[in-house]
């Protein structure tokens, strides 16, 4: 029998059914948490209360799992619930004292994550506080994010490269006269690693370079798409709005202030690896201590970023398992009805959307029904997206 280390190493990817189960269990909780958060997004609802309900639900649901196992299994929030409104792009998860509320007509980006034994599922979704179909530029920006996500799902597959996805999603956004927001990274996920080394850039520019990478079977990715009707260049307006941080595990420094040491000790104990919100820290003097921790790179901040007032921003994020039989998107939520002002006429985008997400099994087995015309040979189990639906593709 091989050593424990070897066994651990061997079982950490999707070749282990137990790992697949943990990813899918985390995804099930994430999808339900998203559903709950959407149902709480009503006019006059306090944003902090909505975020807290999302996090509490994840803690409660994960807490009920793997209770009676001998070896303690870490589980809980992998990314705190964020509710970013209108031209706020991301990472808005305010402190308990915050009084901001939602209003009728707001466009809300919801972002959250959960892990079981370090196997992470994340989701991002855009919801408008209105009844009836979404129209005009708001519909364009959501359709752009959703169509880009559908294209990315079909291009994040073994043999394809990260730059293929970067180019494709920009082309999709342009078709809706929108921009992909710069600086958004889609990361490979590994056990206890929310920001793996293989990365898909949202926009390739001289400032941000990532290594070329090819997707491989049994990998997991968090595909993160943010679109804007503005210029797609996020701005940090106020560092004081930052509430989400992650411990930089490779950094050490002897903190000078007592409050910093106290808070850092609480972080190491409660949130040694995953991102967390300052709201979850017990010490109310946390703010001061966090500043010193950030200044000495012990914590990585997730700043609240903005587009210009009046710009619309949409966010779609999903977790995908690159299984031997094809890509399995495990987190998503259906969109409201969209009536965008633009339609997809580009043949290349239409061809991407017509690709399947499942690959044909080799060898015997029952004969499949005849292919639909125009569908690729490998996509007999696929769910091609009809480009005429304007990106409001039905998601499971």
| pLDDT tens, residue by residue, 325-367 | 999 999 999 999 999 999 999 999 999 999 988 875 544 443 3
The pLDDT value recorded for residue 326 is 94
Cα(224)–Cα(245) distance, rounded to whole angstroms?
19
| DSSP 8-state assignment for residue 378 | G
Cβ atoms of 205 and 181 closer than 8 Å: no
In this structure, are strands 338-339 and 134-135 parallel, antiparallel, or unpaired? parallel
Query: Which has more pLDDT, 298 or 361?
Result: 298
User: Which pTM does this prediction carry?
Assistant: 0.89
The pLDDT value recorded for residue 70 is 84
The pLDDT value recorded for residue 219 is 97
The pLDDT value recorded for residue 68 is 82
pLDDT exceeds cutoff 70 at 65: yes
The pLDDT value recorded for residue 210 is 84
| Residue 23, token pair as written in the block | 């990813």
3-state DSSP helix/strand/coil % of the chain, to nearest 5: 30, 25, 45
Give percent of the chain above pLDDT 70: 87
pLDDT exceeds cutoff 80 at 63: yes
DSSP H helices, the chain, are: 4-11, 17-40, 47-63, 136-155, 162-175, 258-270, 286-295, 347-354
| Residue 142, token pair as written in the block | 């959501």
pLDDT exceeds cutoff 80 at 270: yes
Q: What is the mean pLDDT of residues 58-69?
A: 92
Band the pLDDT of 394: cuts 50, 70, 90: very low
pLDDT in tens, 83-95: 999 999 999 999 9
The pLDDT value recorded for residue 357 is 87
pLDDT exceeds cutoff 50 at 1: no
Picking from 268-282, 297-311, 363-377, which range would have the lowest pLDDT averaged per residue? 363-377
pLDDT exceeds cutoff 60 at 42: yes
Residue 124 C-alpha from the chain's centroid: 5
């Amino acid at each position: 029998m091989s050593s424990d280390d070897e066994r651990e190493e061997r079982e950490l990817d999707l070749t282990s059914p137990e790992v697949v189960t943990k990813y899918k269990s985390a995804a099930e909780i994430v999808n339900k948490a998203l559903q709950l958060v959407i149902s709480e997004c009503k006019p006059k609802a306090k944003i902090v209360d909505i975020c807290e309900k999302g996090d509490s639900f994840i803690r409660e649901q994960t807490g009920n799992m793997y209770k009676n196992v001998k070896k303690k299994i870490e589980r809980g929030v992998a990314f705190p619930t964020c509710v970013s409104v209108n031209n706020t792009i991301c990472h808005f998860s305010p402190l308990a004292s915050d009084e901001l509320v939602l209003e009728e007509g707001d466009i809300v980006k919801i972002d959250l994550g959960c892990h079981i034994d370090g196997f992470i599922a994340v989701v991002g979704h855009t919801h408008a506080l209105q009844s009836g179909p979404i129209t005009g530029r708001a519909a364009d920006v959501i359709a752009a994010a959703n169509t880009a996500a559908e294209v990315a799902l079909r291009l994040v597959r073994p043999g394809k490269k990260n730059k293929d996805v970067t180019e494709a999603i920009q082309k999709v956004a342009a078709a809706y006269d929108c921009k992909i927001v710069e600086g958004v990274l889609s990361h490979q996920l590994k056990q206890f690693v929310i920001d793996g080394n293989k990365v898909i850039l949202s926009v390739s520019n001289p400032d941000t370079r990532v290594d070329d990478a090819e997707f491989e079977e049994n990998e997991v990715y968090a595909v993160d798409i943010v679109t804007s009707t503005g210029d797609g260049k996020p701005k940090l307006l106020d560092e004081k709005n930052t509430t989400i941080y992650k411990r930089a595990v490779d950094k050490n420094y002897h903190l000078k202030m007592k409050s910093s040491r106290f808070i850092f000790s609480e972080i190491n104990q409660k949130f040694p690896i995953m991102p967390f919100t300052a709201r979850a820290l017990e010490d109310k003097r946390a703010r001061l201590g966090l500043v010193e921790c950030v200044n000495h790179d012990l914590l990585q901040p997730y700043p609240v970023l903005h587009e210009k007032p009046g710009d619309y921003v949409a966010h779609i994020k999903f977790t995908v398992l690159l299984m031997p039989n094809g890509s399995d998107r495990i987190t998503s939520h259906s969109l409201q009805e969209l009536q965008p002002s633009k339609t997809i006429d580009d043949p290349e985008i239409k061809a991407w959307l017509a690709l399947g997400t499942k690959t044909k099994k080799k060898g015997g087995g029952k004969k499949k029904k005849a292919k639909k015309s125009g569908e690729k040979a490998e996509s007999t189990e696929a769910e091609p997206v009809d480009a005429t639906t304007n990106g409001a593709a039905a998601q499971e």
